[in-house]
């Protein structure tokens, strides 16, 4: 086994062990918590070692970058599930629908409408998450907290999107737990089952607060430099 393949195995095993411990420690429900390996900025060769180690669920934050890396990787590995976790411009929606399996960043009416149109055209119905600006930060994407429940309803009823959950990125430099708890409350109110929350620095806390999907990049792949 090459060093690179070995370190992918070790990193994956380490994160999976920590996820399982967090789940047990906090008595979260026994259903599986999905590990999304965030491969943004890492090249196809680095990703290949994680695919070889058995990881199949990945996250990318840019359409263009995903387009350069993933069609080739998908030829060599089946059953890849690729999540879009970065902001999506409406003029990239068609490409996003072609490249990704899950869209986590639905956060405005116009995008919901365009995604619905592109999915109909492609005869695909991708599962989507609504991104919530849980800290009410001006510079961050996401629907405002007080509009989240109604936005989920409109995505479903007006646009026919398959909204399966909520996603958030809490503010930097503050304890994330209250934000994760708030997202969980909103999800219950909106009637969605999944919570995509938690990154390398806080995925255990997120699992304690009910995350069903954690998005882990640097703790798996190393620093992004």
Ligand X SMILES: *Cc1c(COP(=O)(O)O)cnc(C)c1O
Identify which of residues 90 and 200 has a Cβ nearer to ligand X in the complex.
200
Identify which of residues 1 and 13 has a Cβ nearer to ligand X in the complex.
13
For position 34 contacting ligand X by CB under 6 A, the verdict is no
Of the listed pieces 88-96, 120-128, 185-193, 198-206, which binds ligand X according to CB under 6 A?
A: 198-206
For position 161 contacting ligand X by CB under 6 A, the verdict is no
170 and 134 Cβ atoms separated by less than 8 Å: yes
Which residues within the stretch 92-111 sit at the binding site for ligand X (CB under 6 A)? none
The enclosing H or E element of 94 equals helix 93-99
For position 61 contacting ligand X by CB under 6 A, the verdict is yes
Q: How far is the CB of 158 from ligand X (least distance, A)?
A: 26
Which residues within the stretch 201-220 sit at the binding site for ligand X (CB under 6 A)? 201, 215-219
Site residues for ligand X per CB under 6 A: 38, 40, 61, 85-86, 169, 199-201, 215-219
């Amino acid at each position: 086994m090459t060093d690179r393949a070995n370190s992918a195995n070790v990193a994956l095993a380490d994160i999976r062990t920590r996820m399982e411990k967090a789940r047990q420690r906090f008595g979260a429900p026994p259903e599986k918590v999905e590990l999304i390996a965030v491969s943004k900025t890492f090249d196809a060769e680095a990703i290949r070692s994680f695919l070889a180690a058995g990881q199949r669920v990945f996250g990318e934050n840019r359409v263009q970058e995903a387009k350069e890396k993933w069609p080739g990787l998908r030829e060599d590995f089946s059953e890849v599930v690729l999540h879009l976790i970065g902001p999506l411009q409406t003029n990239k929606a068609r490409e996003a629908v072609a490249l990704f399996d899950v869209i986590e960043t639905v956060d405005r009416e116009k995008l919901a409408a365009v995604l619905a149109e592109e999915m109909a055209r492609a005869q695909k119905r991708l599962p989507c998450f609504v991104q919530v600006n849980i800290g009410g930060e001006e510079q961050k994407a996401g629907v405002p907290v007080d509009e989240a429940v109604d936005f989920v309803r409109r995505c479903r009823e007006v646009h026919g999107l398959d909204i399966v959950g909520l996603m958030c990125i809490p503010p930097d430099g503050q304890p994330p737990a209250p934000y994760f708890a708030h997202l969980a409350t909103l999800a219950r109110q909106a009637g969605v089952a999944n919570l995509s929350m938690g990154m390398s620095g806080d995925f255990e806390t997120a699992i304690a607060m009910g995350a069903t999907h954690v998005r882990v990049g640097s703790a798996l792949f190393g620093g992004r430099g």
